[in-house]
Amino acid sequence: MDIYHVWCDLKPGVKDTEFTRALDAYMGHLKARGAIEGWRLTRRKLGLDPKELGDFHIMIEVRDLAQLDAAFGLAAERREPTESVHHGVNALAYNLTFALYRDFPDAHRHEGEERF
């Protein structure tokens, strides 16, 4: 499983519950179309995180890079119905930071013949 991470802050005046509803609509849209496997939203607690990362942390699970590319493809089309729910999230957030991680060790990993 690959996990696409997004950290962000909310634009001034945006309610946290408004952001949560918008994100739920967008992630639900992607999941219903098979573009993601699942997702999770967390929020900074007690100010314990690097300050360069945002208050909110979104983790989006995909089977592989092909599925992630399909999710990006839906957003890149800029067509309805994806455009509205994608904009619904982007209009509320700023200071975005992204990362891509994978489960480790990889399921296909073999040991004993590596040369480095």
Give pLDDT tens digits for 25-45: 999 999 999 999 999 999 999
Category of 47 on φ-ψ map: left (φ > 0), alpha (ψ -120 to 50) or beta: left
Domain 2-102 is in which class? alpha beta
Instruction: State the average pLDDT over residues 41-64.
Output: 93
- Give the predicted TM-score (pTM) of the model: 0.90
